């Protein structure tokens, strides 16, 4: 892909950039997608399984309905399972198939990441999957935070042609990783967008944006909502014993999204 194509790709996810910083909200439901747009999100990252850091969502169901309900760009997570980012040949085939489906059902961009066993960017897998993703813009997700050498990894992503990289600065949150995010942003020099993400709230957003120099940020802005179920069987859990109750739903909060958007606008 040539430089002109990459520039077009960078622009494809920039709805709302006229006001300065672009806010991307990760969502795993139609309700959250609608709330994110209502609150002022400039882009949505669509996932399933946010408790696992995000996995591939339903294409024919969730993606299709979300695209009917929102107008902002929707970037789709391509991650076949939770856990590490070391994928087999068969998992790559799953990722390719999911990517084709995402494009078929209207995805505006794709999000994926893959590493080698020694903590480097898996250039072979990424090259193969990027070829399927094009011409859509692609973000390398927080697998980046598990790399052996983030400065070298950033150059690898640039050479591969990724438009964005999502990172907490290889730390537990974007606030903790702020020094590295700043260094990565400076190293990127506009060749790739470094997007801070991980634990971003209204309490730390201003510090993260001012301290990093990043033009975009990523958040979930979720609140717990009690289930509408009146009959409840407290003896049964559908997931692991330590999982969140089936009767507490996490959804993007319009008020939180609006607050984060307002903070970002006021920094200018």
Residues 35-59: tens digit of each pLDDT: 999 999 999 999 998 888 899 999 9
pTM, whole model, 2 decimals? 0.90
Residue 27's pLDDT is what? Answer: 97
Closest C-alpha to 217, from 102, 45, 95: 45
Backbone angles phi, psi at 208, to 5 degrees: -70, -45
Residue pair 196/144 in contact by the 8 Å Cβ criterion: no
Q: How far apart are CA 73 and CA 75, in angstroms?
A: 7
The chain-wide mean pLDDT, for the chain, equals: 90
**Both tokens assigned to 59:** 């294409």
CB 129 within 8 A of CB 146: no
Residue given tokens 């790559």 in the structure block: 92
Sheet holding 74-77, edge to edge: 193-196, 164-167, 138-140, 109-112, 74-77, 43-46, 22-27, 216-219
Residues for the chain: how many in total? Answer: 268
Task: Encode 80-107: b = buried (16+ Cβ within 10 Å), e = exposed.
Answer: beeeebbbeeeebeebbebbebbbebeb
pLDDT above 70 for 176: yes
Higher per-residue confidence, 4 vs 263: 263
CA distance 128 to 215: 29
Per-residue pLDDT, 17: 45
CB 202 within 8 A of CB 263: yes
Q: What distance in Å separates the CA atoms of residue 45 and residue 33, rounded to the nearest whole number?
A: 9
**What single string gives the DSSP state of each residue in 187-241?**
HHTTSSEEEEBSS--TTTHHHHHHHH--SEEEE--EEEEE---SS--TT--SS-T
CA dist 180 and 193 (Å) reads 14
- For residue 233, the model assigns a pLDDT of 83
Residue indicated by tokens 């979300």:
66
pLDDT digits (tens, 9 = 90+) for 91-119: 999 999 999 999 999 999 999 999 999 99
Q: Which pLDDT value is given to residue 51? A: 84
Res. 16: pLDDT tops 50: no
User: In which band, very low, low, confident or very high, does the pLDDT at 171 lie, cut at 50, 70 and 90?
Assistant: very high
pLDDT of 244 above 70: no
Rg (CA), the chain: 18
Helices (H), the chain: 3-11, 30-39, 64-69, 89-104, 123-133, 150-160, 178-188, 205-212, 254-267
């Amino acid at each position: 892909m040539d430089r002109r194509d990459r520039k077009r790709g960078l622009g494809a996810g920039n709805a709302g950039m006229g006001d300065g910083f672009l806010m991307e909200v990760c969502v795993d439901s139609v309700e959250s997608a609608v709330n994110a747009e209502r609150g002022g999100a400039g882009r949505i990252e669509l996932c399933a399984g946010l408790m696992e850091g995000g996995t591939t969502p339903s294409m024919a169901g969730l993606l299709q309905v979300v695209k009917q309900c929102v107008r902002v760009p929707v970037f789709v997570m391509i991650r076949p399972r939770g856990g590490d980012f070391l994928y087999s040949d068969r998992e790559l085939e799953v990722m390719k198939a999911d990517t084709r489906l995402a494009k078929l059902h209207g995805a505006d961009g794709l999000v994926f990441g893959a590493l080698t066993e020694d903590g480097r960017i898996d250039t072979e897998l990424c090259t193969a999957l990027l070829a399927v993703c094009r011409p859509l813009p692609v973000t390398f997700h927080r697998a980046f935070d598990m790399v052996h050498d983030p400065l070298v990894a950033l150059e690898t992503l640039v050479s591969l042609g990724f438009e964005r990289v999502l990172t907490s600065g290889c730390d537990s949150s974007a606030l903790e990783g702020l020094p590295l995010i700043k260094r990565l942003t400076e190293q990127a020099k506009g060749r790739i967008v470094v997007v801070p993400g991980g634990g971003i709230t209204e309490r730390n957003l201003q510090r993260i944006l001012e301290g990093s120099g990043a033009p975009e940020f990523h958040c979930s802005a979720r609140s717990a909502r009690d289930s509408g179920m009146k009959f409840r069987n407290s003896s049964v859990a559908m997931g692991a014993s330590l999982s969140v109750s089936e009767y507490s739903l996490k959804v993007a909060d319009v008020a939180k999204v609006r607050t984060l958007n307002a903070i970002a606008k006021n920094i200018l």
